[in-house]
Amino acid sequence: MEETLNHLFINRPFSFECWLQLGIHWPLDANCLEILPEIKANFGSPIFFEVFVLAAWNIWKIRNNLIFKGVPAFVQTWRARLRADLTLLGFRVPQNLSSEISILIDYL
């Protein structure tokens, strides 16, 4: 099976569930890069791309741990790692964006 962006980050059950935790629903037949502006608009936060990158990065790391180390992939692990990364990001952004991050962390 060819590993496309959709396959790696959207269409796998683990990945799909991770995105749902953020309220992001990817249409299964859509190209992720083509639909990204619509997903961003629906997300409704000025920190969408930061959240998107951190969410995808943590999906990637957990997937690699499963493949290369045999560590089971759990959404709870992904959420904990994403919260930790968002907390660190909160120290590097202006106060108004830090508040957005805090709201998202509480949501997770």
For residue 35, being part of any structural domain is answered with no
Alpha carbons 77 and 62: distance in angstroms, whole number: 8
For residue 93, being part of any structural domain is answered with yes
For residue 78, being part of any structural domain is answered with yes
For residue 39, being part of any structural domain is answered with no
For residue 11, being part of any structural domain is answered with yes
Q: What is the mean pLDDT of residues 78-101?
A: 96
Please write the tens of the pLDDT for every residue from 18-65. Answer: 999 999 998 878 788 888 999 999 998 999 999 999 999 999 999 999
For residue 90, being part of any structural domain is answered with yes
Task: Output the CA–CA distances (angstroms, integers) from residue 17 to 11, 35, 73, 74, 100, in the order listed.
Answer: 10, 18, 11, 10, 22
For residue 36, being part of any structural domain is answered with no
pTM score: 0.90
Residue ranges making up the domain that contains 62: 5-25+44-107
For residue 1, pLDDT beyond 70:
no
Q: In this predicted structure, which of 1-5, 28-32, 77-81 has the lowest mean pLDDT? A: 1-5
For residue 7, pLDDT beyond 90:
no
Based on the structure, what is the number of domains in the chain? Answer: 1
Q: Which two tokens stand for residue 27?
A: 């249409």
For residue 34, being part of any structural domain is answered with no
